[in-house]
Amino acid sequence: MGKIISFMHISLDGFVAGQNGEMDWIKVDEEIFDYVGNRISKSDTALYGRLTYQMMESYWPTAADHPTASRHDIEHSKWYGKVQKVVLSKKINNAGLINTEIIRENLTDRINEIKQQTDTEILLFGSPTATHSLIQQNLIDGYWLFVNPVILGRGIPLFVDVKEKIKLSLLDTRQFDCGVTALSYIVEKK
């Protein structure tokens, strides 16, 4: 059965974006791209909120076609093209979307059905609003957090209105030369 893993860049003080959604504080480099690419290549399903999906959809389908495309852009564009995408949105029309399913209602039932359809990780990329909804429904099985060496002071927090304590077990850590630390946790089930 698949597990939903929230993949998120986060500030040291727990924010995933600035007050106006800015993400210019996030550090990425080839070392991080290679590390992430290796892990996501083993997954066949990506989960997004509407805004993150629209941002991804505006770039990744053609990223490999640009004359200055990096190796990372080419590899991730290929992965993005073949991966099954699941989007949590009441506003997107799924007519004509390729490899994309829109979930508008019955979130818990639909997510559990999707978990049954795969044996790989279902990666929830960014999408703080979707993440908050899934946390409320106790549907996230793990967190893959990239802690950036910055304190924002305010912004969009990763964890809001958590109803009860969520116990985690640390699976892996990785320190990158740029100062980012990746932490991989699994949620301890009751």
Q: Can you spell out the DSSP letters for 20-50?
A: TS--TT----HHHHHHHHHHHTT-SEEEEEH
Longest dimension (CA), the chain: 51
In this structure, are residues 72 and 33 in contact, taking their beta carbons and an 8 Å threshold?
Answer: yes
**Homologous superfamily of domain range 3-7+9-154:** Dihydrofolate Reductase, subunit A (3.40.430.10)
Given a cut of 80, is residue 95 above it in pLDDT?
no
Q: Where are the alpha helices (H) located in the chain, listed in sequence order?
A: 30-40, 50-57, 71-82, 107-116, 128-136
User: Whole-model pTM?
Assistant: 0.92
- How far out from the chain centre does Cα 25 lie? 17
pLDDT digits (tens, 9 = 90+) for 40-89: 999 999 999 999 999 999 999 999 999 999 999 999 999 999 999 999 99
In whole numbers, what is the pLDDT of the chain averaged over residues? 93
Given a cut of 90, is residue 97 above it in pLDDT?
no
- The dihedral sign for the CA sequence 90, 93, 94, 98: negative
Kindly state the average pLDDT of the residues 103-125.
94
Q: Which of the four pLDDT bands, split at 50, 70 and 90, describes residue 94?
A: confident
Nearest CA to 21 out of 116, 129, 148, 147 is that of 129
In this structure, are residues 6 and 126 in contact, taking their beta carbons and an 8 Å threshold?
Answer: no
| Other CB atoms within 10 Å distance of the CB of residue 32 | 20
Read off φ and ψ for residue 145, nearest 5 degrees: -105, 135
